[in-house]
Amino acid sequence: MPDGVIPATSPHHAASLPQPRTDWTRDEVAALIALPFPELMFQAQSVHRARFDPTEIQISTLLSIKTGGCPEDCAYCPQSAMHEDGGVKASRLMAVEAVLKEARAARDAGAARFCMGAAWRSPKEHDLDTVCAMIEGVKGLGLETCVTLGMLDDRQAGRLRDAGLDYYNHNLDTSPEHYGAIISTRTYQDRLDTLAHVRDAGINVCCGGIVGMGEDDSDRAGLIASLASLPKHPESVPINLLVRVAGTPLAQAEPVDPIDFVRIIAAARITMPASRVRLAAGREDMTDEAQTLCFLAGANSIFYGEKLLTTPNPEASRDARLLARLGMHTSLSQH
């Protein structure tokens, strides 16, 4: 059993477990991903059970509070103004009360965390005023709050903290080596700088990536190694399966083998044992069996609701049926 893999134990003993490693190398992660599948799943389950209830799934809901018109050129994203054939029209920032209406519905449907996304390079001051009011209102409903607004400086991160923000999402997307093939309008270091500002402000980090953007096995290992080598692991790690949207440069990307995707989930769980690993975008195209393997590999959070920003997500009733078939339950606990 490699370094960092913890024998199975009760999740109630998690506090006594050693601190997770933050020095994972690409080669170590690549070796994990390449393990025989039964061995990889056993190790992922052992790590998962050491810190979490393996039958529990955390539910989050994601709302696009400002859609389209983004000046970035992310090749996967239909909200980019550079991908006009992506079918997403630019909209204005939603009103606070309209967002709170959606948050109430999410809470009543069982969500523990309400995530708000805006298609910006970085927020303007007057927009940040409105977002801070949204954060305060959503927290007043008893939900955890998460926003993704693009790049932040230290002062903006401080404002979000003062509004009571729980989590900030800012994904690395892919490996440092493959990044330039996907995005040219901001650098990998820009992303790391924003994550540092969020950490320094005392806000929890939600940071993951996307599988299926033409990367090779080494890049997938490089993404997980980059996440697992941050000074502190993200509290939430969303792993997305590329949604191939017509009109974007990646519309014709090769599909990802479901077993290969499960391997990435398992590697995330083993290398970041205390993090919530979220099975994020792309679930609409996954079979129930593929999602079940992801849960067995250590994914313990999903987005609930029929849309993720602008792309489809399984109907809530489908998710409820699957979780019931598996004997799993949702959690409203804070994490």
Q: Express each pLDDT in 9-41 by its tens digit.
A: 454 555 678 889 999 999 999 999 999 999 999
Query: Is residue 266 included in any domain, yes or no?
Result: yes
User: Is residue 133 a contact partner of residue 118, using CB atoms and an 8 Å limit?
Assistant: no
Query: Is residue 117 included in any domain, yes or no?
Result: yes
User: Is residue 233 a contact partner of residue 8, using CB atoms and an 8 Å limit?
Assistant: no
132 is in an annotated binding site: no
70 is in an annotated binding site: yes
92 is in an annotated binding site: no
pLDDT at position 238? 95
Query: Cα separations (Å) of 44 from 52, 61, 176, 238?
Result: 12, 26, 25, 16
Query: Is residue 42 included in any domain, yes or no?
Result: yes
Query: Is residue 8 included in any domain, yes or no?
Result: no
The DSSP element (H or E) to which 303 belongs, if any, is strand 301-303
Query: Is residue 246 included in any domain, yes or no?
Result: yes
pLDDT at position 285? 83
207 is in an annotated binding site: no
pLDDT digits (tens, 9 = 90+) for 48-90: 999 999 999 988 888 888 887 788 888 888 877 666 654 566 7
**Residues with a known catalytic role:** 70, 74, 77, 115, 146, 206, 278
Q: What are the structure tokens assigned to 269, written together?
A: 């769980």
Query: Is residue 322 included in any domain, yes or no?
Result: yes
DSSP alpha helix (H) spans, the chain: 26-33, 37-51, 96-108, 125-140, 154-162, 176-179, 188-200, 217-228, 258-271, 288-296, 316-326
Query: Is residue 4 included in any domain, yes or no?
Result: no
pLDDT at position 72? 84
- Is the confidence at residue 170, as pLDDT, over 90? yes
How many domains, the chain?
1
Query: Is residue 163 included in any domain, yes or no?
Result: yes
Report the CATH number that the domain containing residue 172 is assigned in CATH.
Answer: 3.20.20.70
Helices vs strands, H then E, count in the chain: 11, 12
Q: Compute the distance between CA of residue 59 and CA of residue 327 in angstroms, rounded to an integer.
A: 16
Specify which of 2-16, 250-264, 316-330 reaches the highest per-range mean pLDDT: 250-264
Domain holding 212, by residue range, is 26-330
